[in-house]
Structure formats: C-alpha cells, structure tokens
Structure 1
Amino acid sequence: MQMDSSYSPELTALTDRWVEATLKNSGKNVTGLLTQLDPLIFCGPSVQEIWEGEDLRRSYENPSKNMSSSRILETRTKAFCNGDTGWSLWEGDIQKSKSGDVQRARITLVFVIEGGIWRIQHIHSSIPDNDEGIDEDGLRELTALFQARSKHNPVVGETGIAAIMFTDVVDSSALTVEVGDVKWTAAISRHLLETDGIVRRNGGQLVKSLGDGSMASFQTAESALRAAQAIQARVSSLNVGPSMSLRIGIRTGVVVETGNDFFGTVVNKAARIAASAAPNEIRVSDATRLLVNGMTSFRFSDPTERELKGIRGLHQTFRLDRVDPPDPE
C-alpha cells in the first residue's frame, strides 16, 4: 500500500534544533540526533568535503577550536515524512560571531526511524552563489583580504582568498595525431615547465598539471593576469609543427586548501571559464576584473553573460586584451 508524504511539524522542530546546536558547536546535542548505524554521510559545499560514519561523529563531538560559533538570523524550515523516512530543508542567514559577516546557508537532512526515534542519516550543506557580481563594499573587502594575505602569508591556508587560473591546450588530441606522440610529449613537457617558471616569477604556485593543461593559484588578481598574458605569449614559441593555442580562465574568491590542492566553487568556475574561452583567449570573472579596475595596465573587452557547464545561472566574464608594464609607484 502506497503512503502519501505529509508535512511533519516534529521533523521541522528537530531540524531547527539540530542546526542551532551545530552552529553553536554543541557536540553532544548534535551527535545525539545522528543515527548510530551506518551509513551516516555528510556532504559539504567543497568538492571533497564528504565525511562518513565515525569520522563524522567525532568531528561533531570535538569541533575545532578555530571554529567560532554563529548566530542565526532569518530562517525557513520545512520537513516531510513518508512512513519511516523523513526529509527536511533548512534555509537561513548566519552571522559569524567574530567577523559579523552574514552568509546564506542551506542544509538538507534525511531522517530514519531508529528504535522508535527519528535520527539523521544524511546531511547536505551548501552555500548559494549566484555570481551576480560585486558591489563597491564587496570589492573593498576582497581587496583588503588580498592585501592582508600578501603581507602575512605567501600561501593560501585552509581557507582564504586566491586567484585561480586554468590553462588548456586547444585540440590537443588532434595535435598529438598530427605531430606524433614523442614530439608532442616533449612539447607539452616543455610548455608545462615554462608555465611553472612564469607562474613562480609572478608570485604564484603551479598546483598541478592536467595532462595538457595546468592549474595555478596566486595571491593577487594582478599576478594571475600578468602570468596568463606571459604564458599566452610564450606558447607561440613552441616548435611543434602546427600552431599550438591555449584557453585560459581566471576566477578570484574564497578557496579551500587540502594538502597541496585547492577546492571550492571558485576553482570549479575558473575551470569552466577556461573551457568557455576561445583559442588564444584569456577570460576572467567580473571579480577578477574589478580587483585591477583602478590600474591602467590592463585592458578588457567583450563583457559576456554565459552559462558555465554544471553551474546554474548566467555568469559574466570578460576578455583580457592587453597587459602593460606595472603602473609606476
């Protein structure tokens, strides 16, 4: 017999209670509502932010001392159940206690009945990003974060601001067939070696090579733009028979570092911006452009709103046309 789903005031209240306990870093009140059985899964906003089972329970029981509690502002919760299964959606504005910043968050919970009690078996947390651009206050804040980072720490820490750049060789498969594996492998190796050198000279770090492309991070948007222009200029010097061309994409914002790699929405969008670029083109996000807007060294054109594969909405990007020497001090 099929049962209809119905609104659940009980799960609505449980959801509100669990979110409040989580944001206050109240360990036992959080874990008390979790299932004691596996699978127990948490999926967060970052690419590799997935926790399971005992690792997840321990993380809630012993929250990091670096995690500050947050205050909940406006919220909206709705929950439903069908037999012994329930689910809920929590949306709210969260104000961080240290910085006072307000951020929109969404949390989805899946419940099961365990020993006659509703318990949480799956958690999904996300931070909406509509990428509608940055106002003047946001730009000043982003610039201040960059300046503080460059003065005190040359490498982005666990979370921080960075300019992420992706490069990609256009039609690499066809070029491989045309020039042969040996010659192409040598050309790509030389290209990646020179890319690494250019990135380093501009204060960045080559995060990883991606076959025939690369990912790099920079402390400033200016450094990323100068490196991108230098890389495009250098590609034409590679003697591989047919001409090689690159697509380059840059986006700036908050990233998460795990080991020697970077994750998060900014990284994903930088890769998609690169994929959307034309051959020999450098395309950048609006935030990246605005961060160098007062410098006469950079020229942009072709403001375009476009879809980025796998990311909702329209996203404005610009073509980098010219990079002149730095402005005099």
Structure 2
Amino acid sequence: MTQPVRPSPELIAVVRRWNEAVHAKDSAALSNMLSTSEYLRYQGSAEGESWSGSLFRKGFPDHVAEIPEYDWDEHSLEAFECGAVGWAHCVATLRFASNEKAMVHRFTFVLHLEDGVWKIVHCHVSNPVPNMEKIGIEHKALDALVAAARDGFRQDQREGMASVMFTDIVNSSAIAEMLGDRIWTDAVQKHLDLARDTIEAQNGKLVKSLGDGTMSSFSSARAALTAAAELQRRNAEEPDEPPLQIRIGIHTGDVIQTDDDFFGTVVNKAARVAAAAAPGEICVSDATQLLVGGPSELTFSAPRSVTLKGLPGDHRIFGLKW
C-alpha cells in the first residue's frame, strides 16, 4: 500500500536547526546533519556551487565560514514526509553586513532517514529572477484567480487533504479580440459550464471561476486527475470554432483554514503548476502523482524539473497522459 504524504513538524524543526547552524557557522552541527551517502548533493546560487558526496560534506563548513555576517528573516517554511523520505522548502530574506543588501533566498531540502535519524541528502539555494527579466512577460490570469478565491473564502470550508485544480484557456486575449465580446462571452460561458459539469461528475467542487479560468477542489487526487483528463477530452471534441485549448495544473496537500487564505500554499502551488503547463497539457505536482502511483489506468510522462513563481527551489512535475 502506498504510504501517505503528510506535513512534518519534525522536519520543520530539523531544517530550522540547519538554518541556525549555517547562521552560527557551527561546523560540527552542519557535518552531523548531512547524509553519509555519496549521493549527497548541493546546488548553490552562484555558478560553480555544485558539489557532491564527501567533497560537499567536508568542504561545506569552510564555505559557510566565508559567508559574511547576515540577519535572517524567515518568511515561510514547509516540510513533508512519506516513509523514509522527506522534503522541505523555505523562503527567507538575508541582509548581509558586507554590503547591507537585503536579498530573498529560496531553499529546498531532501532528507532521508538513516539509522532512525533525518539526514539531509540534497540542498538547493536560489535567488528568484522576475519573469519580466527572464522571459519578458508577467503571468497575471492565475494570480487574479487566486486572489478571487481568497476573497470568496467561506468559514464552512473543511480542513483535510485536498487536490486543487486550476484550468486556464490559452491565448484568451487574442481569441477574444478576434471573436468580439459577445461571441467570446458565449464561448467562455459554454466552456465554464463544461468545466463545472466535468468537475461535479467526479464529486469535485468548483470553488471559483474568473474570466476564462477555474479553480476547483477534490477530496481525492484520483478524482481530480480523472476530471482533468475528461475535461481535456471533452474540450478537444467541441465542434465550435475556433477551438479552445486549455492548460490544467493540480497539486495536493493539507487544507489550511485561516481568516485570510483559502487553501494556504496548496492553492498557490496548484496555480503555478498550471502556469507551467503547455497548451492542451495536464501537469501535476510530485505529491499528487505519488498519491496515485502504482498500478493504475492513469499514465504520466517522465518528470521534469521546473521553477515555480514565489516557491523556492526546483519542483518536479508530471504530465498526465489523457
């Protein structure tokens, strides 16, 4: 039976001890927290900071000793575990005494139980680069949908595991301009009705629709993937012109109920996974894929590593073949 993915307060404490040891330049603690495996890996933010095995384990304390003094402001830290494997991501602002610059840093960790003790087997440090600088655009549609979902937060939402799905019509602005407002409005409404029917047929809940996108939630990861595949199939079979292509993203995690956030980081990551999907593609996070792993009628493409806006490090996503 597949072991469940669950949040890990224990690993949050481990990662905080690691961050404190780096800040304090505690070489003994740093060496003790690293795996003894030769598959140990580290990827830093600068060119050339890519080390492995004993070289990393022996040399990292000296590397840390060279870091100028800095102030540390942690913004977020999450950790999860599944059996003997765990992972965490952290976002923090560091202000270095050498130049007084405040820089956002993102850290990801992979940990493994070795003789009953959690050890770090992979660490990745990065600095975010704005989309405008990297690809010349900023993605806005999914951000607006996330904001709308938060505005529509209801206190009767249940806590627990949820799979959150985002859909988005590709090149909607260009198509709307070509069709005109009236025809485009009718086309979008027809698509949203199709999405609602497909989502509810799998016992999902359409949380919010905004413009040409939707956000929905499912209590079952398998149901979310089934709905996504069916929506892509039904959308592809629509006879209307021009054909609409959609991208879909799904992420699974614990629902966190607060006064100002609908699904916590789960909704944000689901939106980012959707933004990473190509036209006509369904992308799912590694957590979602893991929950439906093993023998299944669901098949996936090979995983690929991507960066997700606002989330630290690299993330593995899978394409669901529909």
Which TM class, normalised by the smaller chain length?
0.5 to 0.7
State the Cα distance separating 1:298 from its structure 2 match. Answer: 0.5
CA contact (8 A) 1:89 1:106 kept: no
User: Structure 2 CA distance, aligned partners of 1:131 and 1:186?
Assistant: 47
CA contact (8 A) 1:179 1:240 kept: no
1:163 maps to a residue whose letter is S
| Matched residue, 1:220 | 220
Which is greater in Rg?
Answer: 1
State the Cα distance separating 1:129 from its structure 2 match. Answer: 7.8
Q: What SS is found at the alignment partner of 1:263?
A: coil
2:189 maps to a residue whose letter is S
1:289 maps to a residue whose letter is Q
Following superposition, which runs of at least 4 residues in structure 1 exceed 3 angstroms of deviation?
A: 72-79, 87-91, 102-108, 128-135, 237-240, 257-261
Q: 1:277 to 1:227 in 2, by over 3 A?
A: same
| Matched residue, 2:299 | 299
Aligned length: 202
State the Cα distance separating 1:316 from its structure 2 match. Answer: 0.3
User: Structure 2 CA distance, aligned partners of 1:254 and 1:105?
Assistant: 15
**Structure-1-length-normalised TM-score:** 0.52
Kindly report the root-mean-square deviation, in angstroms, between the aligned alpha carbons of the 2 structures. Answer: 4.0
User: Structure 2 CA distance, aligned partners of 1:187 and 1:210?
Assistant: 14
For 1:91-110, list aligned pairs within 5 A. none
CA contact (8 A) 2:208 2:216 kept: yes
Q: 1:106 to 1:240 in 2, by over 3 A?
A: closer
Q: What SS is found at the alignment partner of 1:166?
A: strand
1:220 maps to a residue whose letter is S
| Matched residue, 2:180 | 180
CA contact (8 A) 1:184 1:240 kept: no
More strand by share: 1
**Structure-2-length-normalised TM-score:** 0.53
User: Structure 2 CA distance, aligned partners of 1:235 and 1:134?
Assistant: 42
Q: Report which stretch shifted further, 270-279 or 229-238.
A: 229-238
2:244 maps to a residue whose letter is M
State the Cα distance separating 1:259 from its structure 2 match. Answer: 7.9
CA contact (8 A) 1:252 1:285 kept: yes
Could you tell me which of 108, 116, 121 is aligned with 1:130?
Answer: 108
| Matched residue, 1:120 | none
Structure 2: segments with no counterpart, 5+ residues = 1-12, 25-70, 79-85, 93-105, 114-155
CA contact (8 A) 1:221 1:288 kept: yes
For 1:209-288, list aligned pairs within 5 A. 209-257=209-257, 262-288=262-288
| Matched residue, 2:194 | 194
CA contact (8 A) 2:165 2:224 kept: yes
Q: What SS is found at the alignment partner of 1:312?
A: coil
Q: What SS is found at the alignment partner of 2:108?
A: coil
Percent identical across equivalent pairs?
43
Match status 1:313 vs 2:291: no
